[in-house]
Amino acid sequence: MSVPRAHLSPAARDLRRMTHATLRKVTDDIDRRQTFNTAIAAVMELLNAVARDANADDLRAVRQESLELMVQMLAPIAPHICHALWHELGHRDAILDAPWPPVDEAALVQDEIEIVAQVNGKLRAQLRVPANADRAEIERIALADDNVCRHVGDLPVKKVVVVPGRLVNIVVGG
């Protein structure tokens, strides 16, 4: 894709990440595992994501890339319909002549991840934190969340358990 990553909106980056993650999975499913049903299911999930954001103008180029890659991913399974869809997407050549697309590893990089925040083991918030956040930063973000603060209240924090990339659990006692 010709649009630099820095110029993409967060929604476009998420769709592009999902597109290339799906391409990686489908490549493995078809090539190594030969599990066509899971390849089709992965493409269906991607199609639902594309349809969900169908009216967003800032996603036009990413949506086009996603549609083209979906057609290429399904071509080994349903070649005739994919040939027709390939032409509908604006290509003049046969889809069988198109090389298998490479996964763009840069598209798979996440700037932020979602983790859960618990208070005494009970889910209290879903937090977006920088992907490279350390334990102290994750703890600070969790303790600043409104819903977490409401459940902690005036109780003293006894312990904070941080599992990077997964969760933060705040143990309070009274």
Q: State the Cα–Cα distance between residues 59 and 81, nearest whole angstrom.
A: 25
pTM above 0.75, yes or no: no
- Please name each of the domains of the chain with its CATH number: 5-108 (1.10.730.10), 112-172 (3.10.20.590)
**pLDDT value of residue 55:** 67
* Inter-CA distances, 77 with 8, 21, 100, Å: 32, 19, 14
**Which residues, other chains included, contact 71 with Cβ-Cβ below 8 Å and sequence gap of 6+?**
82, 85, 86, 89, 95
Nearest to 59 by CA among 110, 5, 120, 13: 13
Confidence of residue 38 (pLDDT cuts 50, 70, 90): very high
* pLDDT, tens only, 52-108: 876 667 788 899 999 999 999 999 999 999 999 999 999 999 999 999 999 999 888
